Structures are given as C-alpha cells and as structure tokens.
Amino acid sequence: MYDCVVIGAGIAGAVAARKLAEEKGKKVLVIERRSHIGGNCYDEQDDYGVLIHNYGPHIFHTGMEEVFSYLSRFTDWYMFGHEVVAKVGESLIPVPFNLNTLHMVYEKEKADRLEKKLIETYGEGSRVPIMKLRENEDADIREIAQYVYENVFLRYTMKQWGQKPEEISPEVTGRVPVLISYDNRYFQDKYQGVPKEGFTPMFEKMLAHDNITVRCGIDCKDVLSFDGDDIYLEGEQFFGDVIYTGALDELFDCRFGRLPYRSLRFDFEHYDKDSYQGHSVVNYTVSEDFTRITEFKFLTGQQDADGTTIVKEYPFAYTGAAGEIPYYAILNDENQALYEKYRALTNGMKKFHLLGRLAEYKYYNIDAMTKKAMELADSL
C-alpha cells in the first residue's frame, strides 16, 4: 500500500514526505507519536487567542535560497530582523555582544579605544566566538572577553547545559559570536521571520498531498519492527524506504544506555495587559533559574489578541521519564561514540535512513534540517 514510511512529522519528516510524494510519486505514510504535526516547530492559539510556540520560540532564518524558496511554496512570511537583549543588572543589552553593546557597557573614550582595537585585530564585520576571544593575550581584549564571558555566557550556559562554556562543544557557544559590527540582530541571515499564519498551517499545506497519509498519536514502535536487517510494518515485511526522525537509542530500547539530552520545561503565563517586556526575547544571562522569556506577540507580529502571553524556559537533564521530550543533543566525543554504536545497528538496513535532530544526534536549525531532508529525498 505504501512505498515509503516517514517516522516523525517535524520539519525533517514533513519536507522529506512532501518531496517523495510529489516529485517521486511515492505513496508515503507519515507516523507521528504526538497528537499533532510540526514537531518542535508546532504553534497554536492558546486559551486567550494568542499564537504561541508550544515548544519554545522558533524563528526561521536562512541564507540558503533553495531552502527559502522551497518553504515559501507553503507559506507567506512575516519577516523581521530578530533581536535579543540580555538582562544584566537593571540594563537590557543587545546579544550577540556587538559594538552597540560595547558602547553601552563602557564609557565613551574607553569604548572608542576598544572598538578600534577590536576592528584592527579581527576586522570590521567579523564574528569572533567567545572562546576564541578569550585566547587573545592583549589586556584590553581580555577585559572585553572576560566581561562577555561572565555577563553573557557563564550563567546562561550553566543553566542551559549544566556545564561551563569551556566544558561544552565550542560549536554551541560559537552559534552566538561576538560581532565586530553595529548589527543588533541575533542572526545575520538574509531571510528571517516566521510563517505569516504560523508554522502549523505551513506544515498542514506541506503534508496535504494525495500521496501522503498522516497518522498522529501513534508511536512507530507499535507498528514497525525489525528482524535482523529486515523491517516489518504492522507484521508484514516492508521493502520500501523508511525515514526515521526520532531518537536512535529509543528505537533500540536504549540497550547500550541512554543517549544524553537536555530537556526544557516551558512555563506559560498570560497577562491582561498590552506588553510584558516590550521585546520578543529577553535572555537572563546572570540571574534567575530560567534562561529566557519570550513574549510571543513581539515574535509573531500578532495584532488581534487581547493581553499577552509569555514563556519561561527551565532547562534540565532529560531522563526519559514519561512526558519528557529530548530537545538538545549534548555534543561531545563520549556521546558521539555511544551514538555511533547505535548507528552501527542500522548499517545493514540499506533502506532505513536516519534524518533529523534526534536521529542524527546533531544541533540542526530549521533551515539546515530542511536542506538535509531535501537532499535525502532527492537521493532516494
């Protein structure tokens, strides 16, 4: 009945399913464990009519034309330059730390001197990871590095990862470099924004194709099984391609031990007033137990809701307990080695493909995930 099975209706699964259905004429079955499509990009109106992102704030950003134009088939966009501020003491300072931030935290003469030195050392417009900046031996640059380390990275990273910046993969802190420019935007990509009507309608359109069947509320482990390298769908051997976007350790009952992940608790609060913080995202880089507060109406541009809804994010170590969701792979050599052990179990299954943040144990953004899903579908 089906030519392909896709496990998971997040961006990875949805893009792959659409391309296989539309461009390869395959009959695709999408199986999703949650009650809805969209994966972590899912959004919906809350009880007060405010459009919220149920799994944390998602801003689409990309410099990849092919990704932007592919997704644009399924949505119009509300485009904006996404800006984030960090609450440091009583001040709100722009993050990533940039030349505007520099002039906010130092008095003019000193800031001018430091700016000149940063430009001479790294070049105007460059992006310097905090861990690189800290290696510089110049006393002035070390002072800036120390300020940024202590006020932007140290405590936020401790909350998010339970580890210091120097203990986690430099790839992670490198996502938010010090910018030697006056650009206050969080991302420097050409395209940034959110789907105009929300992410969920974009997914609905993507999955609305005669060749696609979506079944939500079903765990793939209830319908898929393995015997050696053979795959069975509801008891019958399945010879088509299977794309799996869930966690790889779970698929094999965590037989080598759990792959470590960070999870998040989202606390939503609604206020009967126009604005809570006046910014879409405020990072709490020195105080509080939560990492950041998002105020959705400043992210989605929604005008027609009364009141405002915010979310606070509390990170914790994923344990696999019922109801917990693994959000972030913890990138290090030990975890990668464990991941490779699981991956080796799939080596003999030529039609079984691992795709996605969970299945590949990687830190993908929406755009990179879309690109990877497009490439996989093209290759099948």
Which stretch, 99-107, 148-156, 337-345, 369-377, contacts ligand UDP (CB under 6 A)?
Answer: 148-156
Sheet containing 4-7: order of strands:
212-216, 28-32, 4-7, 241-244, 352-354
- By CB under 6 A, tell whether 346 contacts ligand FAD: no
Tell me the C-alpha distance between 26 and 2, whole Å. 8
Our CB check for ligand FAD shows the closer of 153 and 191 to be: 191
Per-residue x/- track, 23-62, ligand FAD (CB under 6 A): --------xxxx----xxx-------------xxxxxx--
- By CB under 6 A, tell whether 291 contacts ligand FAD: no
Phi/psi for 141 (5° steps) reads -70, -35
- By CB under 6 A, tell whether 294 contacts ligand UDP: no
Which stretch, 9-17, 171-179, 272-280, 344-352, contacts ligand FAD (CB under 6 A)?
Answer: 9-17
Tell me the C-alpha distance between 259 and 360, whole Å. 12
Question: How many beta carbons lie within 10 A of that of residue 286, not counting itself?
Answer: 15
* Min dist. Cβ of residue 222 to ligand FAD (A): 8
What residues between 117 and 146 interact with ligand FAD by CB under 6 A?
none
With CB under 6 A, what is the number of residues at the site for ligand FAD?
Answer: 35
40 binds, among ligand FAD, ligand UDP, none (CB under 5 to 8 A by kind): ligand FAD
Our CB check for ligand FAD shows the closer of 221 and 343 to be: 221
Nearest to 180 by CA among 97, 243, 105, 259: 97
240 binds, among ligand FAD, ligand UDP, none (CB under 5 to 8 A by kind): none
Please give the helix or strand (H or E) that residue 341 lies within, else none: helix 333-344
Alpha helices in 59-107 (DSSP H): 65-71, 99-105
Tell me the C-alpha distance between 297 and 303, whole Å. 7
* Min dist. Cβ of residue 111 to ligand FAD (A): 30
| Residue bearing tokens 């913890």 | 330
246 binds, among ligand FAD, ligand UDP, none (CB under 5 to 8 A by kind): ligand FAD
**C-alpha separations of 159 from 64, 289, 312, 315, 329 in Å:** 32, 7, 13, 6, 15
Q: Using CB under 6 A, which of 95, 282, 354, 366 touches ligand FAD? A: 366
* Min dist. Cβ of residue 192 to ligand UDP (A): 13
Contact 238, 29 (CB under 8 A): no
Contact footprint for ligand UDP (CB under 6 A): 86, 95, 152-153, 156-157, 160, 172-173, 175-176, 283, 285
